[in-house]
């Protein structure tokens, strides 16, 4: 009899405990009120989820992080989380309903869709971090609405929330300034010995690149990085691999004085050469009454480079609703591109150029590369001196990528297939099958657009000049 009473008591206690746990679970996982603005609902979901505990530089850590074993485990996860993604800028913008980056939208969306977060061991001690179906729906609906509101050019309903967008058909520019910029872009007088122009490394007829591993400057000196394409650079949030130039004008001011690239002693020397050309100086003053200065030179080049957009790719046509613009394999390649996280960094109109990302997120790229590290391999770290930024680079845009070989900042990958395979390995942590590589590559080739109404081409020999044995 006593045993039966004891068993009944135990069952009753368990039932009460289960009910209590259920009440607690429902309480901590309560969906934010629908009366709140949608952005505030999303903010509360991520705040309650504890995302800042791992994905920020200054997390508020629990007391057990000071314990020997538990603390070591937690700090490893915190370091890894922050290394992969800093959510603080997203949360700060979201809190005040400010502008959220396309990259943040894509990263958040992918994590939610894949149900990756929170990590099981985090969830075990933080029940409130659970992302329930109702919370998922709120977040995904908000992301869709943000994307639609971000662009004035409406897309078909079944394309409206894609993480990439078509390139603009036109861009507003000052035609007179752009014409001067075109002349300056092709003018070797910007270099000390009148042998190198902007077009030397960014030729328009070769997809805006020189197809060298490293760029060649005056006296055939070698730079330390692969020259990125000048096409669609207007869509980049910063310029150069390390992001040291905020605008196209800032970028244009760099190479003329770089001792390896153009090596001019100063802009005064450049101005003197240009002013000696009376007809050019007269034409320049007609557009810029203040005359030839560093600011007007770089402004004109910027205005010209704003015109270097390549709309009307086959993929853009598909985005705008033409289902016949791409093949089934190419479409499958796009789906694989999204599946393997490529579209969490390569987003927007240029499919990139909107963030800095770590080269070797899932596997140590530089250890496997087999080349001595250079100062350029430090990436963004060169500018910030923040350890987190070491090996972090501005994400390149993928428009016209079939023509912009070799690939990466170090120009070590000659073919698009090799680049795709390695991106899977080093950035996504997957070994792509040959069939997957081929389909993703096929999709990437649909991104080739038109310049001035003609499909962009590159007839340069496929032979890449290997310069990695040279001093930089």
Residue 362 CB-half CA count within 13 A: 12
Q: Kindly report which listed range (26-40, 298-312, 343-357) carries the lowest average pLDDT score.
A: 26-40
CATH of domain 175-305: 1.10.760.10
Q: Kindly report the CATH class assigned to 314-455.
A: mainly alpha
pLDDT score, position 23 = 41
Q: How far apart are CA 255 and CA 339, in angstroms?
A: 39
Who has greater pLDDT, 264 or 469?
264
Q: How far is CA 330 from the centre of its chain?
A: 22
Query: Tell me: the pLDDT tens digits for 320-373?
Result: 999 999 999 999 999 999 999 999 999 999 999 999 999 999 999 999 999 999
Query: Tell me: the pLDDT tens digits for 175-206?
Result: 999 999 999 999 999 999 999 999 999 999 99
Q: Which of 146, 261, 357, 376 is catalytic?
A: 261
- Classify 222 as helix, strand or coil: strand
Q: Is 162 a catalytic residue?
A: no
Structure tokens of 2? 């006593």
pLDDT score, position 27 = 45
Q: What's the whole-number mean pLDDT along residues 278-291?
A: 97
Cα separations in angstroms, 332 against 98, 138, 221, 346: 35, 28, 43, 17
Do 314-455 and 175-305 have the same topology in CATH? yes
Question: Which pTM was predicted?
Answer: 0.89
Residue extents of the structural domains in the chain: 30-150, 175-305, 314-455
Q: How far apart are CA 369 and CA 31, in angstroms?
A: 47
């Amino acid at each position: 009899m006593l045993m039966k009473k004891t068993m009944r008591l135990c069952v009753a206690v368990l039932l009460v405990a289960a009910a209590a746990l259920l009440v607690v679970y429902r309480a901590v996982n309560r969906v934010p009120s629908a009366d709140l603005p949608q952005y505030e609902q999303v903010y509360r979901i991520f705040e309650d989820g504890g995302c800042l505990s791992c994905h920020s530089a200054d997390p508020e850590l629990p007391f057990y992080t000071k314990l020997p074993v538990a603390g070591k485990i937690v700090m490893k996860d915190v370091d890894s989380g922050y290394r992969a993604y800093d959510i603080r800028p997203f949360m700060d913008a979201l809190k005040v309903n400010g502008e959220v980056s396309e990259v943040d939208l894509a990263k958040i969306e992918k994590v939610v869709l894949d149900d990756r977060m929170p990590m099981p061991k985090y969830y075990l001690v933080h029940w409130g971090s659970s992302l329930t179906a109702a919370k998922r729906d709120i977040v995904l609906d908000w992301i869709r609405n943000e994307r639609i509101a971000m662009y004035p050019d409406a897309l078909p309903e079944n394309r409206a929330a894609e993480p990439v967008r078509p390139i603009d058909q036109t861009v507003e520019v000052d035609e007179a300034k752009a014409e001067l910029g075109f002349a300056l872009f092709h003018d070797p007088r910007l270099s000390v010995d009148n042998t190198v122009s902007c077009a030397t490394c960014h030729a328009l007829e070769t997809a805006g690149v020189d197809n060298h591993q490293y760029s060649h400057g005056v006296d055939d000196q070698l730079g330390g990085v692969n020259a990125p394409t000048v096409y669609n650079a207007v869509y980049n949030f910063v310029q150069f691999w390390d992001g040291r130039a905020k605008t196209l004008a800032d970028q244009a001011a760099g190479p003329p004085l770089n001792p390896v690239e153009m090596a001019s002693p100063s802009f005064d020397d450049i101005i003197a050469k240009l002013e000696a050309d009376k007809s050019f100086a007269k034409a320049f003053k007609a557009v810029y009454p203040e005359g030839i200065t560093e600011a007007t030179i770089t402004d004109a080049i910027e205005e010209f480079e704003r015109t270097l957009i390549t709309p009307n790719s086959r993929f853009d046509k598909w985005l705008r609703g033409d289902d016949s613009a791409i093949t089934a394999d190419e479409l499958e390649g796009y789906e694989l591109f999204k599946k393997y996280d490529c579209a969490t960094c390569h987003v927007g109109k240029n499919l990139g150029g909107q963030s800095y990302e770590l080269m070797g997120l899932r596997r140590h790229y530089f250890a496997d590369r087999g080349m001595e590290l250079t100062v350029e391999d430090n990436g963004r770290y060169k500018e910030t001196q923040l350890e987190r930024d070491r090996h972090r680079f501005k994400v390149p845009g993928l428009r016209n990528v079939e023509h912009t070989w070799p690939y990466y900042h170090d120009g070590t990958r000659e073919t698009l297939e090799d680049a795709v395979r390695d991106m899977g390995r080093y950035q996504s942590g997957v070994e792509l099958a040959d069939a997957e590589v081929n389909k993703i590559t096929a999709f990437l080739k649909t991104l080739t657009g038109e310049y001035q109404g003609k499909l962009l081409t590159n007839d340069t020999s496929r032979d890449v000049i290997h310069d990695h044995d040279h001093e930089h």
